[in-house]
Amino acid sequence: MTLFAAVRLPREILFGKGQRHILANVASKYGRRALLCTDERFAATAAFAEMRSALASASIETFVYGRTLPDVPRDSVAVCVEQARGFKPDMVIGIGGGSCLDMAKCAALLLSHGGRLQDYYGEFKVPGPTLPVIAVPTTAGTGSEVTPVAVISDPDRTLKVGVSSPHLIATAAICDPDLTMTCPASLTAITGADALTHAIEAFTAIKRGADPTLPQHHVFIGKSALTDHFALLAIKLLGRSLEKAYRDGSNADARADVMMGAMAAGCAFGTAGTAAAHAVQYPVGALTHTAHGLGVATMLPYVMHYNLPAAASEIAEVGAALGLTPGDGGPQALARATIAEIRRLFLAIEIPSKLSQLGLAEDKIDWTADQALGIDRLIKNNPRPFDGAAKRRLVKAAYDGDIAGAN
């Protein structure tokens, strides 16, 4: 088969303990006026005060929007942009969890191109480059610091919506694992499980081949040699350290592994895309108001089981990256052992093992399946196709906790 690869990434990814101190240096390449998007938690920290004073020392004026809310309500972006427009920023710096990074990407979009956020929902609707964005994550999960996606909640829509465009990729990502040391265990688990789901869904995504027009029309284009490389790195790092970081948040080496894993997973899924576990989370999250990472991770083992007939050898490779050794049973047996290992890991970090535990009502199973089936860009990316009956079977199996029922 022809070797095919595509990957879209920031111009600079800087990773390592203490990298946050380089922010002012990086920012000075992009102008003298920076809009800082963060949330109330981070705005009150000494680390934030230090970053602001370093920017001031580098003669960079700042305007702080410090009220970013989880899941980025649509109208809060308009408020941020309204407040910041008169300041005429040269760049936008997002510091915080995925919500703050997505807020920064959306603010840069509206400051550059005007209009309303809803004008850009979907793929490839952003007409051109935006103000440069510098992304400084404080969680290890979403990968938003490197992805072409911003996810927001719109009061007029039941499901969360995305703006997906290569123009949304941050110009620079500055990843300092010290910033994640304050994450409580539950946040470490939820965001880390989201990252592992990104890596596994990207690695097991459909392989579409070498159609040269594909990356010009779609943001998520399936797996390829380069995204595989990042996905396997992410799986290896998260496999060896997510549980450690969950059990002991002061373990700096584990924190670094998990943050690198989350970023590498973002490098993979930002081009390869995610698939059915993410598709089901959208309606589940809308109904149960549970965190994104909880929903995708709850679904992941069921989706992997459903995908066995189409992707056993890829799932077995996931197992090898997790450190499992192949036995005598070939890829099928290793793939099954891999699913068991993911279930063990998620149980160890207290991820629910079935959708009923997330509060999904039994009479919403079919609705959830139908909504998930409608998320074309994710469903088409799954290695094994779905029809309505298969999707309902999958959601029912995940509701009941019946892994064998996901067939």
Which residues of this chain interact with ligand NAD, rule CB under 6 A?
A: 39, 41, 70-72, 96-100, 102, 138-139, 141-144, 147, 149-151, 160, 179-180, 182-183, 187, 191, 292-293
151 binds, among ligand NAD, Fe ion, none (CB under 5 to 8 A by kind): ligand NAD
- For 150, phi then psi, to 5°, come to -130, 135
CB 71 within 8 Å of CB 162: no
In the bound complex, what is the minimum distance in angstroms from residue 168's beta carbon to ligand NAD? 8
In the bound complex, what is the minimum distance in angstroms from residue 1's beta carbon to ligand NAD? 29
In the bound complex, what is the minimum distance in angstroms from residue 3's beta carbon to Fe ion? 28
In the bound complex, what is the minimum distance in angstroms from residue 292's beta carbon to Fe ion? 6
241 binds, among Fe ion, ligand NAD, none (CB under 5 to 8 A by kind): none
In the bound complex, what is the minimum distance in angstroms from residue 38's beta carbon to ligand NAD? 9
CB 199 within 8 Å of CB 258: no
Q: At what angle do helices 185-203 and 330-348 cross, to 10 degrees?
A: 160
Residue nearest to Fe ion (CB): 194
Residue type (1 letter), 14: L
CB 150 within 8 Å of CB 102: yes
For ligand NAD, which is the closer residue by CB, 250 or 325? 250
271 binds, among ligand NAD, Fe ion, none (CB under 5 to 8 A by kind): none
CB 152 within 8 Å of CB 116: no
Closest CA to 261 of 321, 207, 315: 321
Count of beta carbons in the 10 Å neighbourhood of residue 320? 16
Cα distances (Å, whole numbers) of residue 338 to 118, 341, 357: 40, 5, 23
The footprint of Fe ion on residues 184-203 (CB under 5 A) is: 194
What length is written for the chain? Answer: 407
For ligand NAD, which is the closer residue by CB, 204 or 274? 274
143 binds, among ligand NAD, Fe ion, none (CB under 5 to 8 A by kind): ligand NAD
Site membership for Fe ion, residue 145 (CB under 5 A): no
Count of beta carbons in the 10 Å neighbourhood of residue 15? 16
CB 125 within 8 Å of CB 117: no
For ligand NAD, which is the closer residue by CB, 219 or 308? 219
In the bound complex, what is the minimum distance in angstroms from residue 195's beta carbon to ligand NAD? 9
Q: Give the binding site for Fe ion (CB under 5 A).
A: 194
